Amino acid sequence: MNPVPPDEAIAFGDAARSAFESLGGVDLARSAETDGDVRQRALTTLERLGVPDLDVLGDADSLAAAVELCREAGRVVLPAPAAAMCTGGVVAIDATTPVVDHGDLLPEWAGVDVATGVVTAYVADGSRFASRLGPFATAMKATDRATGVDSHLGTAWMVLSGAVLLGVVDRAIELALDHVRNREQFGQKISEFQAVQFQIADAVTAAKGLRELVNFTAWRVSIDIDASISDAMALRVYALDTARAVLRTTQQLHGASGMCDEYDISILVRHAQPYLRLPFGVERTVDVLDAAVRTHGFAGLFPHGGRR
């Protein structure tokens, strides 16, 4: 038993962090909304880091490295499809309303329909939404091209998108800590108020839980890929619940500043939305988890669902 990721994976994450910070950190996401070249630079950086060489299904260490990279991508809401780059352009998708974040950035995609497991080729259907909450979200259309990809890559994408949300959550908490340590009201730092401390404690506790669950789920994928659809869905539910709660709390702790784009928390909240809403939101994810548990069971101390 060892819950710690391998050293190589951590080193890979460290390299990714340096690369993303040298590109400007959260500023990269900020500028990508108006500067068309920025996302391409982020994509090139992922390629230079060796992301296309990762074999996330064939090699547990590769998956662990991808997890660390995606976490770092989440910390700066990197304006590029980090999780999908790790799976070779494969994403989980809702075939009835296919939308992909940065769908306009790659010429071809493979989408694994979450409900059926069917893999379909997709291309962008028009330009990105360019909205505040989905600046790079793009409607997709199916094509007849045979993808030849392993549908389990959709499961891996689920795990990696959970890692992205872990990075978002970690960064949001750091930003809030920095703010409450410095902001003074009623003659004291607002971190002195127990009401603030308790909100911090709950956010930190949820983030610690998400960190463990991300690593555990990656391990499950590496040892039992078929059954790990239950694990990936469970991670997604917990990641969505945690990220929504933590982003709300940390933005609240920023006061009105938290709504302003000059503050990183605002960029984080806006740019994290595609990870929270695609392929669909948490309550439908719970339904899919339910179906997966009925079929594949749920690993634990006692039997559940399909494997009794």
Partner 1 sequence: MDFDLGDRAAQLRTTLRSMIEREVPAGFLGAFTNDPNDLAVTQRFCKRLAEDNLLTWAWPVEYGGRGGSMWDQTVIREEMWAHHEPRGAQYMGLNWVGPAVMAFGTDEQKAFHLTAIGAGDVIWCQGFSEPDAGSDLASLKTRADAAPDGNGWRINGQKIWTSYAEMAQFCVLAARTSTGARKHEGITLFLLPMDRAGITVQPIKSMLGRHHLNEVFFEGVEVYENEVLGAVGDGWRVIRHALTFERVGIARYARCERLLSLLESELAASGEEMSANVRALFMRALIHTRVARLLAYRVVHQQEIGALSDADASAARIAVTQCDQFVAEMLFQAIESDSLRDAKSGAPIYGAIEDHWRYAQAATIASGTIEIQRQLVARAALGGSR
Interface contacts to partner 1, rule CB under 8 A: 1-6, 60, 64, 173, 177, 180-181, 189, 191-192, 194, 197-198, 200-202, 204-205, 208-210, 212-213, 215-216, 218-220, 234, 237-238, 241, 283, 286-287, 289-290, 293, 298, 300-305, 308
At residue 93, what is the residue type? I
56 and 160 Cβ atoms separated by less than 8 Å: yes
Mode of pairing for the β-strands spanning 109-113 and 119-124? antiparallel
Least Å from the CB of residue 67 to partner 1: 9
Which long-range contacts does 51-57 make (Cβ < 8 Å, 24+ apart)? 51/82, 51/85, 51/86, 52/85, 52/88, 54/86, 56/86, 56/87, 56/153, 56/156, 56/160, 57/150, 57/152, 57/153, 57/156, 57/221, 57/225
Least Å from the CB of residue 212 to partner 1: 4
Of 29 and 237, CB closest to partner 1: 237
Measure the CA–CA gap between 92 and 279, rounded to whole angstroms.
Answer: 6
Least Å from the CB of residue 5 to partner 1: 5
Measure the CA–CA gap between 210 and 61, rounded to whole angstroms.
Answer: 20
171 and 78 Cβ atoms separated by less than 8 Å: no
Of 3 and 36, CB closest to partner 1: 3
Q: Which two tokens stand for residue 242?
A: 């945690």
Of 160 and 210, CB closest to partner 1: 210
Least Å from the CB of residue 107 to partner 1: 35
Least Å from the CB of residue 69 to partner 1: 15
Of 108 and 290, CB closest to partner 1: 290
Least Å from the CB of residue 301 to partner 1: 5
| Residue for token pair 């749920």 | 298
Of 80 and 234, CB closest to partner 1: 234
Of 255 and 297, CB closest to partner 1: 297
